[in-house]
Amino acid sequence: MTLRLALGQLNALVGDAAGNVERVLESVGRARDASADLVLFPELVLSGYPPEDLLFHRGFKQDITRALRAVAEAADGIDILLGYPEYLAGSEDGGLFNAAAWCRAGQVVFTHRKHCLPNYGVFDEKRYFTPGTHFDFFEIKGVRCGVLICEDIWQPEPAQRLVELGAELLLVINASPFEQGKQRQREQLLSERARALAVPIVYLNLVGGQDELVFDGQSVVVDAAGEMRLRAPAFTECLAIIEFERNESGELCVRPMDETPQAPLLDVEASTYQALVMGVRDYVRKHRFPGVVLGLSGGIDSALTLAIAVDALGPEQVHAVMMPSRYTSQMSLEDAAQQAAALGVSYDVISIEGIYEASLAALETSFAGRDVDATEENLQSRSRMLILMGLSNKTGRMLLTTGNKSEMAVGYATLYGDMAGGFAPLKDCNKLWVYRLAAYRNGLSPVIPQRVLDRPPSAELRPDQKDEDSLPPYSVLDAILECFIEHDLSVEDIVARGFDRPTVLRVLSMVQRNEYKRRQAPPGVRVSRRAFGRDWRYPITNGYRP
């Protein structure tokens, strides 16, 4: 007996049930050509993940019903297992499940309903789905297969129950978003589960960008001893083939196929950079923008953003604009031009002096008797926004913002100025990570001038300005922010780690005061344990003081 499986690691588009069916059926055809007995697809692949409140729309429900029927009809000579939202017949409001359908000979012959509904971090499944309660396995070619969906494998009970019932192979379909270090956690968990239960596990993950989330693929198969036998590539659609056969003792063994080479486990810099590239590419392409425009200042943040945009979309779809003012250094002008040339993007230099001077003149009477302060700095940033948004509107290209997580945290950014735009690639990368990723990208090919990495960061909105005039050193700032944002540590906890109490209080106060800015910021790629956006829900108006 040989059981051949095909793992369809697909990039689905939320809401596009018809398009997702086309992707599924194309992969079914390739799996059939490869003589697979069963082809698997990710969690909620028909709807895309997460479908959120689209699930409440009756028209969307009808789309899903048609899509599932089309997939079942394609199950001719090959079985298909895939995820979809199941609307229980006859129920107007309650019977909605995150389900997996096993299709055979034109019908859905087996259904597994997700038992463990995550409701933490970026997940909100209890808002939409009812948990499943039934456990059973399904047979193919004499192999008893237990089906699980994503969170089901992270909790011990569902897999244990299936094995107790007689399942000898676990098939897990997933929509597990990327997070730094998450793949190692997945593989360790799967290895431990397989060893404890003495069964092989097939873990199939979604791939692609969806708003703030990026799904990294990296589907894996582990044998009953917990050994890794297959790892699909990261951030890439693929159809991976693997076989199972029984040994002389009747045990189910894994036999990888030569046509499915083992992909490497990426280090944290490579995986983070690729997540940012995929997040930008899919956001732009799924929204059908013809390209992007961004401000290139000669600083590290815009330099890294430009490199990511070119790697995601190609230079022909990227337009960079240097917008100098009276405070822009010659070094910035030279470095921006050098990088634009190195990456081959279209590049303009448009001065903001005329817009800035006109703004000051218009406000002269209203500003009379008041000292120069951050207002004049913000006017420069908003002058640049007028140019960039004008180019975006005229060309249809989306504006990328270039700010990082450190700036978003403490409000070191101008609302309706450098925060304006459609997507923020570095929104979840603090300043130290920006430098790490820039160094990583230059290690692939030197596209960011070394002076950009070496010079002290500056907004260049006043003479001789440096970021550290207004902020603690980034080595201190980023460490405090990580303690507070990603680990919810108190002031006492952070001080106990060796940080100065007044500095801690100052940083946490800035984070709180600037929640209103973050609510108006564009979405960006989530890569850390906790990003501003889906899994950060602090009230704007609140009386709590650290």
One of 103, 116, 150, 483 is an active-site residue; which one?
150
Sign of CA dihedral 404, 406, 407, 410: positive
Is 141 labeled as catalytic in the residue annotation? no
Distances (CA, A) of 509 to 375, 394, 491: 21, 40, 11
> Quick check: helix, strand or coil at residue 348?
strand
| Contact call for residues 251 and 224 (beta carbons, < 8 A) | yes
Checking phi first, is residue 229 left (phi over 0); if not, alpha (psi -120 to 50) or beta?
Answer: alpha
Q: How many CA atoms lie within 13 A of 275 on its CB side?
A: 32
Is 22 labeled as catalytic in the residue annotation? no
Name the token pair of 438.
């820039």
Among 278, 327, 322, residue whose Cα is nearest residue 526: 278
66 residue type, one letter:
R
85 residue type, one letter:
P
Other beta carbons within 10 Å of 266:
18
Distance CA 369, CA 180 (A): 51
Distance CA 533, CA 524 (A): 8
Cβ neighbors of 256 (< 8 A, separation 6 or more) are: 221, 229, 230, 242, 243, 262
> Quick check: helix, strand or coil at residue 61?
helix
Is 405 labeled as catalytic in the residue annotation? no
One of 114, 405, 427, 431 is an active-site residue; which one?
114
Other beta carbons within 10 Å of 8:
27
One of 43, 179, 377, 407 is an active-site residue; which one?
43
Distance CA 164, CA 166 (A): 5
Distance CA 455, CA 127 (A): 48
| Contact call for residues 388 and 295 (beta carbons, < 8 A) | yes
Query: Token pair 């019932």 is at which residue?
Result: 165
Distances (CA, A) of 186 to 8, 228, 297: 19, 12, 40
Q: List 254's β-bridge partners, or say none.
A: 244
Distance CA 316, CA 65 (A): 40
Name the token pair of 457.
């960061």
Indicate which residues carry an active-site annotation. Answer: 43, 114, 150
